Structure 1
């Protein structure tokens, strides 16, 4: 039997067929809602497991034990551990992009809009450390799996489009210098926000400062706003 087929089975002697449906007079809407809740429950637990242990260390058995479902159900929804991992990656990137899109920055002055996006990015990283660890794990795998996530590039193009619009508006307002690459801008924002979470524990051990502590995090967030907005302002020559 090919290896790919083995991934679809939960365990020897346990069929990979769909779980038996519950009987009773339940509407299609009820069943769809239950299915979505089950799927989200699996993804939530799997996110923590993959973030803590990586793809190789996480176990479907352990994920099943911590969900309100079964190992068989996990394979029914996601087919394999690798497919579940890709679904987790897709969900986490989708959530951060959705949070950015919900800000409604289009009507704000450019500097204000940029500051708002930076603060949202910083807060999301602080509040969702699992996202940071997942990205770190994916880089350990040389981005082997994220390229197979359907629509991942299109999904992440939204933040570049938003930054491009802010930069164009800033040039028109005369408050931002010309020639800023929106991908460079996104990279700089992400790097500063990401580091606050990815290096929190080592920074605490070495320097005795907890970057995740409320007062420290708030001060760090405003520093990043000042750094990025200052780099973008008109009259500020880029330093390379």
Structure 2
């Protein structure tokens, strides 16, 4: 070590990193709620700072501006759902059970995290430019598609699934069957005169989605 220089003690440096991680996590959670309520255009950094209980300058220090913060929130939202999916251990289930479990999980996750759907709505209003600029978001989603491809291949090999199923198209269908229903439940309920969020209606929807997805991939 050069004479006259002082190295920060390792415990102190680690504590500073933990503080930084905690601060960024707090900011991301506050920003997620703000963007979910007001969208990118209506969100205000002052309110995010107030929600987080932190100085607004600290938000700019970590995330530069509102656009970068929105991108970071989207990345974290995808990280959260992908990490939750990893806990399903789909590779340990039979192909049919793995697909059913993924459909059930997607439906439950969207129900329990409505902010995820509103964030996606906001991202789409801005033509997903924040995701297009994010290599991290693509890296987070690739493993799921690879796993789904493996499940489809296992099913094809054991004779339970038909071949030629595109894992990307299949996942879009799984997500879309939940997303459209939940994002439009108010208008759909009004149009059809049914409470589509009643417990019985939600269970019927889940059963329908499982039948649709499995009916598409299973061999006759």
Give the TM-score, by structure 2 length. 0.89
**Could you report, residue by residue, the CA deviation over 1:178-237 in whole angstroms, capped at 9, with x for unpaired residues?**
1111111111101101112211222233334343343332331122111100111112xx
Query: What is the DSSP-based 3-state SS (H/G/I as helix, E as strand, rest coil) of the residue aligned with 2:135?
Result: coil
**Counterpart for residue 99 of structure 1:** 84
Query: What is the DSSP-based 3-state SS (H/G/I as helix, E as strand, rest coil) of the residue aligned with 1:234?
Result: coil
Runs of 4+ in 1 over 4 A off after TM superposition: none
Deviation at 1:62, TM superposition (A): 1.1
**Counterpart for residue 164 of structure 1:** 149
In 1, Cα distance between the equivalents of 2:114 and 2:178? 11
**Counterpart for residue 73 of structure 1:** 58
2:118 paired with 1:133? yes
In 2, Cα distance between the equivalents of 1:154 and 1:96? 13
For this pair of structures, how many residues does the alignment match?
Answer: 210
In 1, Cα distance between the equivalents of 2:197 and 2:49? 31
Q: Is the 8 A contact 1:126 1:212 kept in 2?
A: no
2:23 to 16, 31, 38: 38
2:198 paired with 1:209? no
In 1, Cα distance between the equivalents of 2:54 and 2:196? 37
Matches within 5 A, 1:1-240: 27-235=12-220
| RMSD of aligned Cα (Å) | 1.6
Give the TM-score, by structure 1 length. 0.82
In 2, Cα distance between the equivalents of 1:35 and 1:214? 42
Using the TM superposition, name which of 178-187 and 150-159 deviates more: 150-159
**Could you report, residue by residue, the CA deviation over 1:106-150 in whole angstroms, capped at 9, with x for unpaired residues?**
121110011011111111111111111111111111111111123
Using the TM superposition, name which of 217-226 and 91-100 deviates more: 217-226
**Counterpart for residue 10 of structure 1:** none
Deviation at 1:63, TM superposition (A): 0.9
**Could you report, residue by residue, the CA deviation over 1:22-49 in whole angstroms, capped at 9, with x for unpaired residues?**
xxxx833333222222211111111111
Residues 140 and 226 from structure 1, CA distance in 2 versus in 1: closer, same or farther, beyond 3 angstroms?
same
In 2, Cα distance between the equivalents of 1:219 and 1:190? 17
Deviation at 1:84, TM superposition (A): 0.3
In 2, Cα distance between the equivalents of 1:230 and 1:99? 26
